[in-house]
């Protein structure tokens, strides 16, 4: 498996997903509450440690590549969608830093968009259904 593939498929490994979500759930309240150094440390190091644990596990990553989730990310998780997810993550951190719940929610929506709005993602499927149903009026 090529290094680029490993990086792509490790994003959907349960350990990596759990670390990403857990880091957000723990770090954002810490940042909000003024424990910014600890919050930022948890926010950035937990996913890095999880990545270091998952990336060498070739057998796990090959199974993920052949799974439905693997097929999804191979098609939908373009580099631009990965950037969208990172931007959303940054918005959540800034929102916690500034104690703005609306920014945290917006960041979460941007992250969700990064996971769902790729080339064949949710938005594309809705558009295709609308166009296929003849609802595209000039």
Assigned token pair, 15: 């350990």
Give the model's pLDDT for residue 127: 62
- Over 44-92, what HEC string results? HHHHHHHHHHHCCCHHHHHHHHCCHHHHHHHHHCCHHHHHHHHHHHHHH
Residues in the chain: 138
* pLDDT tens, per residue, the chain with 138 residues: 788 889 999 999 999 999 999 999 999 999 999 999 999 999 999 999 999 999 998 888 999 999 998 998 888 888 888 899 999 999 999 999 999 999 999 999 999 998 888 776 666 666 667 666 555 544
CB atoms within 10 A of CB 89: 21
């Amino acid at each position: 498996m090529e290094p680029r593939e490993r990086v792509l498929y490790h994003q959907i490994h349960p350990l990596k997903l759990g670390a990403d979500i857990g880091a957000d759930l723990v770090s954002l309240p810490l940042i909000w509450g003024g424990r910014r150094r600890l919050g930022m440390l948890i926010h950035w190091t937990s996913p890095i440690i999880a990545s270091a644990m998952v990336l060498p596990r070739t057998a796990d990553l090959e199974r993920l590549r052949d799974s439905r989730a693997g097929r999804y990310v191979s098609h939908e998780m373009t580099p631009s969608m990965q950037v969208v997810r990172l931007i959303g993550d940054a918005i959540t951190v800034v929102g916690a830093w500034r104690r703005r719940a609306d920014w945290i929610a917006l960041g979460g929506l941007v992250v969700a968009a990064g996971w769902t709005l790729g080339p064949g993602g949710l938005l594309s499927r809705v558009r295709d259904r609308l166009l296929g149903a003849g609802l595209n009026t000039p």
